[in-house]
Amino acid sequence: MKKLTKDQMESIIKYHRKPRILSKNEMDELLSTSKVGRLGLSDNNNPYVVPVSYWYDEGKIYFHSPNGKKIQYIKKNPQVCFEVDLLREDGSWKSVIVYGKVTVANDTETIRNVFQKVLESEWPPSKMAAMHLEMGGQETKRAEIDMYVGWIDIIEMTGRKGD
């Protein structure tokens, strides 16, 4: 077996240090600066995790989605988990896990406002959000593209980091 160098040992020890807890401000910052997170859903003990682009504002996580498995799971069980993380080249990392309940928008004005915010926050902009806004955000047009917007009301949030 090859013997590890001193630098290699220090690197291994650094990566295995006990993580530290993020402050509320640090968690808000990571949620505000990230653009993609992972949404954890469950239906009758069948878990489903999917990446979503999102926008974070005033303690809520907004997202949009075409009708599909994600929306079907949310309709059956709106209790969700959401995760974002950041891993740097030096091995340091941060992560935030959110537990909450999803509300799916039903009125055209809310749908339009959320699409506008998501569109403003994403890079590159979401084609579906742009299409919705180009169509004027009308309910009849929404049905044509079968798009939903929703938000997570945060019940609990935890964050960790490793330096």
Using one digit for the tens of pLDDT, what is the confidence trace for 118-153? 667 654 555 555 555 565 554 434 444 577 889 999
Q: pLDDT at residue 7 above 90? A: no
pLDDT score of 34 = 93
Q: What is the pLDDT of residue 118?
A: 66
- For residue 115, pLDDT over 80 is answered with no
| pLDDT for residue 2 | 79
Mean of the pLDDT values across residues 14-37?
A: 88
Residue with tokens 């401000």: 25
Query: Which class is domain 6-162?
Result: mainly beta
If you average pLDDT over residues 44-61, what whole number do you get? 92
Crossing angle of the two packed helices 127-134 and 108-121, in degrees rounded to 10: 130
Task: Read off the pLDDT band of 157 (50, 70, 90).
Answer: very high
Could you tell me the pTM of the whole model? 0.77
Ranking 1-5, 97-101, 122-126, 155-159 by mean pLDDT, the lowest is: 122-126
Q: Find the mean pLDDT for residues 65-84.
A: 95
Q: What are phi and psi of 92, to 5 degrees?
A: -75, 155
| Structure-block tokens of residue 119 | 């569109």
Give the chain's mean pLDDT. 83
Question: pLDDT for 91-112, tens place per residue?
Answer: 889 999 999 999 998 788 887 7
Within a 10 A sphere around the Cβ of 4, how many other Cβ atoms? 11
pLDDT of 139 = 46
For the chain, give me the number of helices (H) and strands (E)? 6, 7
